Amino acid sequence: MPARQTPLIIDQYYHVFNRGINKQRIFQQKRDYERFIDILWYYSFENPPVKFSRYLQLSLEQRSFLRDSLANQEKLVIILAYCFMPNHFHFLLRQKKEDGISIFLSKLQNSYTRFYNTKYEYSGPLLQGAFKAVRIEDNYQLLHVSRYIHLNPYTAYLVKTKEKIFSYPWSSIQEYIGNAQETICNTSIVLSEFKKTPYKDFLLDQAEYQRELDAIKHLTFEAEYAIIFRGANMIPPLRWKGSYTLGYLY
C-alpha cells in the first residue's frame, strides 16, 4: 500500500473527509446517522475492551459500567467538529496518539460498513477508498474549516435558509450553540477565538458565498478544500500544495 501523502502527526489538526463510493448515499435513515455517531464516540477512545457490535449485546447495566470506564481512557483523537451529509462526512480532528486518526477512521468505517451492508443487504465497499486528510496549519484555517463544515447542509440545499443550519441534527453545530443533550466535541478550541464576535455571526457571514459556488459539488474533494480558503479571502492565488501558514496556532 502506498504511503499516505499527508503524514498524520500527533497534536496536529486535520480536516478529514470521505464519501460513498460512486457518490452513493451512505445514510438512508435517521437510525443510520445515529449508529454512525454511536460508533464514532466508541472508537474515539484508545482501547475499547470489546468490539462495538459486542458492546451492543451487553445489558444496560454492563453498557453503563463500560461507558464509565471509557471516560477514564485516553483518546485516539479529539473531535472538534463534524457534519454528516447523505453521501459524505467531514471531521475536524486533533490526533492524540500515533496513527490515531487512521485507527479511528478504520474502525469507524469498517464497523459502520458492516452495519449498513447487513441492514440493506448490500455487499462490497461503502466508502470511496482511504479517507482524505488535510493538515490545518494555523488559526485562520482552523476557524474557516469549522465554518465550512457547519455550513455544508446549507451549501447543499438540505436546509432552506442559513438560519436552519442551527437545527440541522447531524452536525456538531448543536454543541457549538449550547443546545446539545450529549457532547462529543471539544468546542472550546474554536470558540475561544470568539471573545467579541459571536460564532453564529462568523458562521453566517460566508453562507451565501459558499452556496453560490455551485461548481463545488462537481469538483474533487481536494479542489473543494482549496476553495474554502480562496472563498474566505484567506490566501492569494489558489495553491493546493504548499504552506499557508500564518502562525500562532500552537
Residue spans of the domains in the chain: they are 13-231
Strands 132-136 and 88-95: unpaired
Q: What pLDDT sits at residue 162? A: 92
Looking at domain 13-231, does it have CATH number 2.40.30.10? no
Q: Which residues of the chain have pLDDT under 50?
A: 1-2, 214-220, 231-250
Q: What pLDDT sits at residue 214? A: 44
Please write the tens of the pLDDT for every residue from 81-107.
999 999 999 999 999 999 999 999 999
What's the whole-model pTM score? 0.84
Q: What pLDDT sits at residue 225? A: 52
Residue 220, by phi and psi: left (phi above 0), alpha (psi -120 to 50) or beta? beta
Q: What is the mean pLDDT of the chain?
A: 85
Cα-Cα-Cα-Cα torsion 71, 72, 78, 82, nearest 10 degrees, comes to -10
